[in-house]
Structure formats: C-alpha cells, structure tokens
A and B are shown apart, each in its own frame.
Chain A
Amino acid sequence: EAQVTQNPRYLITVTGKKLTVTCSQNMNHEYMSWYRQDPGLGLRQIYYSMNVEVTDKGDVPEGYKVSRKEKRNFPLILESPSPNQTSLYFCASSPGGRDEQFFGPGTRLTVL
C-alpha cells in the first residue's frame, strides 16, 4: 500500500531532550516536506527536500533540523525542544512540484 508513515504518532517529552520524528514514504517520491499545524494558524512548512541531499527552509525552520540521506526517509530533528514546539506535525511527499502532496498520519508532540 502506497503510504507515508511517521513515528512516533504521539510523544510527550521535556524541554531540551533531543528527539527525532521519522518519516518514510514507499512511493519513490522526490519531494518531501515537514509541516506543523497549530490552532488558528493552519499548516506551516518547516523544511522541504527536493531530492536526496537537497533540503531547504520553509516558513518556520527555527529549532528544527532535517536530513535526506535516502530518498524514502526524511527525519525531523529537534535538538533542544521547547514548549513552543508543542504541535501536530505532518510529513508529506509528492512525485514532483506540480502534484498533490500525500500526507502522513501526523505526530502529536507535547514538550513540557
């Protein structure tokens, strides 16, 4: 089944404890993105990648890192999480720039 998977789906952590949210797609898509969703703000892009080893900042990249060492994986790294990073995070992928994005199920992160 074609899909985007994220792990974990739910995470509660404490300020400053490094964490990684994994994202994997099995559709051989070139484009991958990370978004965060906050009430009243919609979804905002954090980082995106147009191919292996090609990443760029979105609208809200501060406090996040990403890497794209393999085509299928695009992990989101929070080196030192803070409470303002409490949010719902989505990973998405698409075949190309003009195509719809397929979203993962979301990761609900709480930073205490």
Chain B
Amino acid sequence: AQKITQTQPGMFVQEKEAVTLDCTYDTSDPSYGLFWYKQPSSGEMIFLIYQGSYDQQNATEGRYSLNFQKARKSANLVISASQLGDSAMYFCAMRDFILTGGGNKLTFGTGTQLKVEL
C-alpha cells in the first residue's frame, strides 16, 4: 500500500533562512507523482509544487524546490529565504498512476508545522 511519512511534527526556522521539510514515501507503482501542499491557519489547502517519478530534474517553483531522491524514496521540500508568511502546516502527498487505475488516489502524510521566527 502507498504510504507517506513526515517525521517532523514541528519545525522552527529564522526569517530569511532556508528550511528543509522531510518526506519519504513507499509505493510499488513505477509511475507516481509527489505533491506538496501548504495549509495556513485559515485552513485552505494551497498547492506548492509537483514532481513526477520520471522527471529528470528536481522541480522548482519560486522559493520552493523539491529535493527528489528516487532511490531513497524521499521528496523533501526546500523553502529558501523563509518569510513570516511561510508559517503553516505543510503536507507531502503522493499519487499512484497505475496500480490505482488512473491516479485519483492522493495519499497524504501527517504534516509538518513550520514556524518562522524573526
């Protein structure tokens, strides 16, 4: 079965510093996608970044980058130059494409609460 593990329940980082949020996954599907979502205290889910299992390069979106290490089954999120507005819960998620018959199953980790301090 698919599984996502986020081992950091909470993290602190100083403003302007970079921070890495860990995510490991487990799947037997050769084709899958990895997502990161941000959930601020207001509750909405905001899509940040996507990495496909066959993508050759690590995904980047502005200050967000995904450190994808396929052999280690890890997909860590790196936030550069942290801002106070980055304080939120961050969820890693995975979507299998073959074993689940089309990719509509999204499995989430338990999340990491990030607090950015002055």
The answer to whether B62 has its CB under 8 Å from any CB of chain A is no
Contact yes or no, A31 B104, CB < 8 A: yes
Contact yes or no, A103 B33, CB < 8 A: no
Which residue of B has the minimal Cβ distance to A40?
B110
Contact yes or no, B109 A42, CB < 8 A: yes
**Given known contacts A58-B105, A105-B44, A98 and B110 CB-to-CB distance under 8 angstroms:** no
Instruction: Name the A residues within 8 Å of B4 (CB-CB).
Output: 42
Set B35, B44, B104: member contacting A48, Cβ < 8 A: B104
Contact yes or no, B50 A100, CB < 8 A: yes
Instruction: Name the B residues within 8 Å of A97 (CB-CB).
Output: 95, 97, 102-104
Instruction: Name the B residues within 8 Å of A90 (CB-CB).
Output: 45
Looking at chain A's contact residues, the main secondary structure is: strand
Set A42, A94, A98: member contacting B111, Cβ < 8 A: A42
Looking at chain B's contact residues, the main secondary structure is: strand
The answer to whether B68 has its CB under 8 Å from any CB of chain A is no
The answer to whether A43 has its CB under 8 Å from any CB of chain B is yes
Please give the number of chain A residues whose Cβ is less than 8 angstroms from any Cβ of chain B in the complex.
Answer: 27
The answer to whether B30 has its CB under 8 Å from any CB of chain A is no
The answer to whether A75 has its CB under 8 Å from any CB of chain B is no
Instruction: Give Cα A96–Cα B97 distance, bound, in whole angstroms.
Output: 11
Instruction: Name the B residues within 8 Å of A5 (CB-CB).
Output: none
Instruction: Name the B residues within 8 Å of A40 (CB-CB).
Output: 110
Q: Contact residues of A with B, CB < 8 Å?
A: 31, 33, 35, 40-45, 48-50, 58-59, 88, 90, 92, 94, 96-98, 100-103, 105-106
Q: Contact residues of B with A, CB < 8 Å?
A: 4, 33, 35, 37, 43-45, 47, 50, 52, 91, 93, 95, 97, 102-111
